[in-house]
Structure 1
Amino acid sequence: MGTSPPSREDPLCRNSQLGYSPPADFDRLVRCVSHGTPSPLIRWHYHEDYEIHLVVATCGKMFVGDYIGTFEPGNLVMTGPRLPHNWISTDAPAEGVALRDHCIVFDRSPIERASEPIPELKELLPLLDRAGRGIEFFGLSEVAQGYFGRIRASQNLSRLAVFIEFLGVLGDWKDYRLLSNPWVVGQEDAASMARIDSIIGFINDHHTDALSMARVAKHFDMSKSQFSRVFHRRTGNTFTDFLIRLRISRACQLLLQSSDAVSAICYDVGFNNVANFNRRFLDVKGMTPSAFRRQFGGEAWDARGGTTAMAAMQRV
């Protein structure tokens, strides 16, 4: 929803002055950070770590991948590696807020390696896979607050035990939603990643066309079954679902950037039926295109930090 790409966060900048736990914790699996607003940590960015975010104060706009939504105290979200994200408070007082949110930062690799000799840990891997799209949990804020406090107050093996228990609770929780179209799921060899990146680039360039899986597979000299298997493994989506979400994401941009009629935007992004567009938009965003424009259009905060999305687009 903006004009500049997300910045990559340098782990070496994660010092205690910014709210991170002491340097002694840096080489450990579980690290904690708490901060208020304003803070240099509040920006549109990504990194290689997983994070679990719990907002405790203020309301505002939440950006996770291609998802735009609102947040309030109790908002609990888990993000995966290389998934851009940002939370921008819109009701903070002029003097700021000393504590806005808590965050747990961790790496998947030790958990995955340990899951071979300790099979019980494999139960956590589906949760980590889902986090590649961003997960918002509902009805869990008080429980999460307790775990955040216990994790921050503990050290060494005790901290690890509480953290694994918390991941188990998140993995079993049923009331959640996935927020974003996948950006990266799993690791592929360089050739496979390059091919999928080319495919996604082609779909991006032609998403307004009458695009079919058969056409894209033929363009890349693949059978439909091979294409379907590779595409789903890399993106976590079927071709049809990916194309729909991409078109809806583009529609969101146009709803915020322009005053064009919803029906015109429907055709501009590749749908050929307004009723189908409205239904698909509702499925993906949880509201109609008109409701989305009313909720976000007048004060759609750009994920880069504080200017409106409209103004940011006009700077291109």
Structure 2
Amino acid sequence: MTMASLRQRDREPELEHDLGRHLTLGYEPLELPGSLRYLEHGIPTPLVRWHQHEECELHLIVETRGKLFVGDYIGHFEPGNLVLTGPRLPHNWISSDGPDEVVHLRDMVLQFSEAPLRQAGAEVAELHSVLPLLERARHGIEFFDMSEVTRDALVRIKSSHGMARYGEFLMLLDRLARCTDYRLLSTVQMQSFDDDASLAQISGIVSYLTEHSAEQFTMGEVAERVGMTESQFSRYFRRATGNTFTDFVNRLRINRACQLLMETDRYINNVCYDVGFNNVANFNRRFMQIKGMTPKDFRRQAEARFGNKH
């Protein structure tokens, strides 16, 4: 079976290019100099779609609630949701409010090039703190208790130019780099490859595993689907995702378990089997290993953080 048969076409992220960044959609003029691009938009808009781009993106939700998709992560968002995504990390925010509702300002967005920051960070000691932030952004970062500070900074960035604008941007990055109340979202660095063919291949594998994570399968069976030997696939998968195959599947299953614990009242033992584990003790052990708490504690903390379950 080819990779094309593993992938569902409508799940592939659209690659965003400058040609699609029109003023009418809320973008700044493309001819403006600099490596920052500010964007704000409401809904409905064609910008709400599963997509990726070469730039990092800081995304603040101003209004509405709904579902957030970053890489292989699925969760809820509400006003104040603040996420930083790295290059080529697919994402989308889908509001669940009334389909006919018109919102004039839902998103405040800042896109910026990663390369200049990495180059400067290697030479300028004051920028060293930004480099770990950029690494974390490869998984997507959700920040907590930073929305007001960020919104004020984005307003200043929007209204400034040149060095003043970049100075505001660097001060905001510094605040985000020093923030300790955050969580990483996606279990896979889906932007690990620079060329489109390799990115499409690992994205296809990840899509297949995500869709079938609750089923029972072996690494050998998945390797056969993509025309590799088991040893070839093991090396390829580790290099592409930074995880062993077993660890990655466990993380997918625990991620899904987290969603069920947040969104349903199902018994924890039932959640264990729903997500693909066949042993409750192993489920509890893996959950503690990945999340640093028991499933019961996670459910209690999730209820405290998100309020009523959606």
Q: TM-score, normalised by structure 2?
A: 0.72
Partner amino acid, structure 1, of 2:152:
G
Counterpart Cα distance in 1 of 2:240 and 2:154: 32
Consecutive unaligned residues in structure 2, runs of 5 or more: 1-7, 224-228
Counterpart Cα distance in 1 of 2:134 and 2:94: 25
1:113-132: CA deviation from partner (whole Å, max 9, x where unpaired): 22333243232121111111
SS of 1:182's equivalent in the other structure is coil
Partner amino acid, structure 2, of 1:167:
L
In structure 1, the partner of 2:249 is: 243
Give the CA deviation at 1:38. 0.8
Does residue 1:219 correspond to 2:230, yes or no? Answer: yes
Worse-superposed segment, 12-21 or 190-199: 190-199
Task: Trace 1:184-223 onto structure 2 (pairs within 5 A).
Answer: 184=190, 186=192, 208-209=216-217, 219-220=230-231
8 Å Cα contact 2:55/2:112 also seen in 1: yes
Task: Trace 1:12-31 onto structure 2 (pairs within 5 A).
Answer: 12-25=19-32, 27-31=33-37
SS of 2:108's equivalent in the other structure is strand
1:92-120: CA deviation from partner (whole Å, max 9, x where unpaired): 57340111110000111121222333243
2:163 to 128, 146, 157: 157
Q: 1:252 to 1:136 in 2, by over 3 A?
A: closer
Task: Trace 1:207-286 onto structure 2 (pairs within 5 A).
Answer: 208-209=216-217, 219-220=230-231, 234-237=240-243, 240-248=246-254, 266=272, 270-277=276-283, 280=286, 286=298
Task: Trace 1:70-109 onto structure 2 (pairs within 5 A).
Answer: 70-92=76-98, 94-109=100-115
SS of 1:87's equivalent in the other structure is strand
Worse-superposed segment, 168-177 or 230-239: 230-239
Counterpart Cα distance in 2 of 1:75 and 1:202: 28
8 Å Cα contact 1:185/1:236 also seen in 2: no
SS of 1:4's equivalent in the other structure is helix
Q: 1:195 to 1:148 in 2, by over 3 A?
A: closer
Q: TM-score, normalised by structure 1?
A: 0.71
Identity value in percent: 48
Partner amino acid, structure 2, of 1:121:
L
8 Å Cα contact 1:58/1:73 also seen in 2: yes
Give the CA deviation at 1:23. 2.5
1:153-201: CA deviation from partner (whole Å, max 9, x where unpaired): 1101111111111111111110000011123355579999899889979
Counterpart Cα distance in 1 of 2:200 and 2:37: 33
Q: 1:197 to 1:12 in 2, by over 3 A?
A: closer
Counterpart Cα distance in 1 of 2:66 and 2:208: 34
Consecutive unaligned residues in structure 1, runs of 5 or more: 297-316
1:143 to 149, 152, 162: 149
SS of 1:24's equivalent in the other structure is coil
SS of 2:106's equivalent in the other structure is strand
Counterpart Cα distance in 2 of 1:196 and 1:88: 25
In structure 1, the partner of 2:128 is: 122
**What do you get for the CA RMSD once the two structures are aligned?**
4.1
